[in-house]
Amino acid sequence: MMKELKIPAHPTPVGEMLTEEFLIPLEVSQGQLARAMGVSRKTVNELCVGRRSVTVETALLLSKVLGTTSGFWLNLQIMNDMWQAQHNESFTEKLDHAARLVEVA
């Protein structure tokens, strides 16, 4: 039986990780990051303050300019999305009422 992944504590938000672990220590401004990525400063700012989610394209750009993997950014986004879903009352009610179509062996 496949177990559901439960996220026990709120994972680090993408924007916090980007700001606290990359921009500040590297002394890189949002504008500098935006130029390196070829995106607007608004796009980077929205990532940093949590108003924009990481897409595949954004993850690829961040990985190239910051020397990480795209999976790092995508996994962090997924962990945050899952935590949000697991703590969203209306969604958890919907999930509780979802009917299984296939039995798991």
- Residue 9 pLDDT > 90: no
Pick the CATH number of 14-97 from 2.30.30.100, 3.40.50.150, 3.30.465.10, 1.10.260.40: 1.10.260.40
Of residues 14, 2, 3, the one with CA closest to residue 84? 14
24 pLDDT band, cuts 50/70/90, is very high
- Residue 21 pLDDT > 80: yes
Domain ranges of the chain: 14-97
What global pTM score does this model have?
0.84
CA distance 39 to 33: 9
CB 56 within 8 A of CB 74: yes
